[in-house]
Structure 1
Amino acid sequence: MTARSDRTRLIAGATRRGAGRRPVSPPVERASTLLNDDPAAMRDETAGPVYGIEDLTAARELRAAVAGLEGAVDAWLVPSGLAAVTVPLLALLRPGDEVLATDALYGPSRRFLNRWLAPRGVSTRFHRAEASIDGILAAVTDRTRVLLIESPASLTFELADVPALAAACRARGVMTVMDNTWAAGLAFRPLAHGVDVSVQALTKYAGGHSDLLMGSIAVADAAAGRQIAGTIEDLGWRVSPDDAWLALRGLRTLPLRYAEQARSALQVAGWLRGRPEVAEVLYPALPGAPAHALWRRDYGGAASLFGVVMKGGDEAAAHALMSALELFGLGYSWGGFESLITHETGQLALRERPPRLAGELLRLHVGLEDPADLIADLEVGLAAWNAALSPG
């Protein structure tokens, strides 16, 4: 049998035969106590979960689907995308160890490194977001145990040469953990490129409807998996059966939504790059972008999330642009069916080496609306931007 595509495999898991008459989607089991017929069977894990804190049917099917998507030996679910980042770090690091991460790291991940791990004896070094492979490896010390990769980087979308980094780290005995939310396990598969642990926020594209919070952790090696599984068990972090069911439902249509939103994003990003108010569009999938060649080499698609650097401006002008929009929601997160916009200039100050941009930084997520309508909406927003900057 020839290899099946992602869109086929994610649906085929629901229609497999051999289990008798059943619904397409698994039942939602809300349970803390699970009853037994035999006292001797109460702790028999071969018969399934023994208590509700363990994954029930929907969560187990979701784990299997994520593991298949990631090419993993196993995958786990945690209550948020942030937890998907923090759990592997808790599992793999000990006092005296060091983490190396990009200076462009997602803000809450950076906060965890500085506010939680640092007081407990795990230090962090941040490399320049645009550093070369040699520059990143030069920051590795004899205490470095984990390289935390976020590619593309948060807000400014720098792309890393992940296969080369993973190989170099493996040769040095450094483990790699990659936040792969932008690629959603579809456009790029970290484990197939040598990364040890791939994490993503299922909150985003997998859920797809902005109505749940969840993260996934997938591993290529069973030994690392045992450490992560034990940490999850000890912390007592699980997801609700209702959320697992929603995420599994979203996962079935993920490839179609992801590809369609990327097509629209490329159209909107290309239009914005031609506007006189815009200095730069930060989107690796856009031809001519700094990392476009690397994206074409390694990625099979793109998220519909990108940055827009304006020509000058200030916070008031950025807010005027955003307030004039009707189709772009003002809210955080992304990956859902709706378009969103945020103003991100202030977050850049958290970095050790803030980038020098030509003006205010906006982040756009393109949803499933008609891109022509989104462009018309942005025209209105840019008119408000110009009016806010006009003298008098």
Structure 2
Amino acid sequence: MDISYILNELGEDRSAYFNAVAPPIFQTSNFACKTVAEMRFALEHEAEVDFYTRGNNPTVDMLEKKLAALEGTEHAIAFGSGIAAVTAAVISRVKAGDHVVCVKKPYTWTNKLMNHFLPRFGVEVTMVDGADPQNFSQAMQENTVLIYLESPNSFTFELQDIAAITAMAKERGITTVIDNSFASPLFQNPAAMGVDLVVHSATKYIGGHSDVMGGVVCGSREMINQIFETEYMTLGAVLSPNDAWLLLRGLRTLPVRMERIAQTTRQVVAYLQQRHEVEEIIWPFLPSHPQYHLAKKQMRNNTGQFTIRLRTDHIEEVDRFCDSLQHFLMAASWGGHESLIYPAAASYKSGNYKSALPFTLVRFYIGLEDPEYLIRDLEQAFGKMRG
């Protein structure tokens, strides 16, 4: 299916809303029925019709159709946040007494889900180094029902060999779930490599403007309908029509944004390679990266996230470098038009507390600014790093 068709036409019927070029926001909680028979049908087929916006809504439906097509899956379901989508996908496949194998160092709240939430309900979780597919095989038990991947990982960007892991999982009837937010549906399609459920934080690249929260789960119609009828309708972490409209707006420009971000990131990384203050650049698309060939195999292009390790033994110098940046905002999320940093040093608190990550790490996200503009900012910040 052509990407231009998906982004501009799929799921849209302009004749149904006065031939408006931009689809309307169906800002309604309810949809009326004309007869008892019609209402009876709606109640019996709530996954398929617009009856109550907590279930389906025309604006949200458009978004879901486009996201499923971008990921190459039969169906999709949208949530109010990325972690809501992650949680629904995971808990839809587990019950008390089951075992989950999860890649180490996932997104913070995914880690909380795996290590604090699921064990409260009798689900055992084993965390493994995802760089070697055999680690997943060795961690599997007779009661293993789910493998959770995040490729690349959130901060240090380790990859997993998606096709190898899903092949092992299918041999044993184990469901696979992956967070594909890093790559976007344009640059990586895990379903084509055998993954059952593909999750995105739509807050990131899909929205693209840092003004909306959302999440999506893509998969087979059977699996998505199961989530709809249980976790989605029961827990109610739904996406509002207004937020769905903002995400639709973001999708229109996704290809041009991703290409610009990819190009600028390559230029910024090339500059950072020349800086003595940078001890290491953690980015799967560097030829020196140990998983470079896997990155090139699984992803069609680089995106805007990478991490640097500053060459210093003093946290004060890390703070000074980060505080001196004028055009990189310091924020937790990414995927919008603005460039950002997230310093691991921010997690180092008073007393004996230590982060799991070295304080010398700074995660970067490259937005839509001119590369020269960003490089000049880095130049002056390095100049102030030593005091």
* TM > 0.5 fold call: yes
Where 1:362 maps in the other structure, the secondary structure is strand
Deviations along 1:9-33, whole A, 9 cap, x unmatched?
A: 3123377776584112221122123
Cα distance in 2 for partners of 1:197, 1:14 equals 21
The one-letter code of the counterpart of 2:21 is: V
What does 1:1-392 correspond to in 2, within 5 Å?
A: 4=2, 6-13=3-10, 21-45=18-42, 48-130=49-131, 132-219=132-219, 221-230=220-229, 231-345=231-345, 360-387=360-387
Cα distance in 1 for partners of 2:35, 2:136 equals 57
The one-letter code of the counterpart of 2:226 is: Q
Where 2:386 maps in the other structure, the secondary structure is helix
Change over 3 Å in CA distance of 1:9–1:36 after alignment to 2: closer
Cα distance in 2 for partners of 1:75, 1:302 equals 25
For 2:352, the equivalent position in structure 1 comes to none
Cα distance in 1 for partners of 2:170, 2:14 equals 41
Cα distance in 1 for partners of 2:250, 2:17 equals 24
Deviations along 1:38-82, whole A, 9 cap, x unmatched?
A: 343224337931223222121010000001101111100011111
Where 1:244 maps in the other structure, the secondary structure is helix
Shift of 1:233: 1.3
Cα distance in 2 for partners of 1:327, 1:20 equals 42
Deviations along 1:283-304, whole A, 9 cap, x unmatched?
A: 1122322211111112111220
Shift of 1:35: 2.4
Question: How many correspondences in the alignment?
Answer: 377
Change over 3 Å in CA distance of 1:115–1:348 after alignment to 2: farther
The one-letter code of the counterpart of 2:77 is: W
Cα distance in 1 for partners of 2:85, 2:30 equals 27
RMSD: 2.2
Percent identity of the aligned residues? 32
Deviations along 1:168-205, whole A, 9 cap, x unmatched?
A: 11112211100000111111101111001000000000
Shift of 1:227: 2.4
The one-letter code of the counterpart of 2:335 is: G
The one-letter code of the counterpart of 1:138 is: Q
Shift of 1:348: 10
Deviations along 1:263-320, whole A, 9 cap, x unmatched?
A: 1011111211221011111111223222111111121112201111111333322221
Give TM-score scaled by structure 2 length: 0.92
CA contact (8 A) 1:129 1:153 kept: no
Cα distance in 1 for partners of 2:273, 2:33 equals 63
Cα distance in 2 for partners of 1:282, 1:330 equals 19
Cα distance in 2 for partners of 1:15, 1:96 equals 44
**Structure 1 unmatched ranges of 5 or more:** 388-392
Cα distance in 2 for partners of 1:378, 1:162 equals 35
Change over 3 Å in CA distance of 1:167–1:177 after alignment to 2: same
Change over 3 Å in CA distance of 1:98–1:61 after alignment to 2: same
Give TM-score scaled by structure 1 length: 0.90
Deviations along 1:325-381, whole A, 9 cap, x unmatched?
A: 1110111110000000111256699xxx957x6x60000000000011101101111
CA contact (8 A) 1:72 1:218 kept: yes
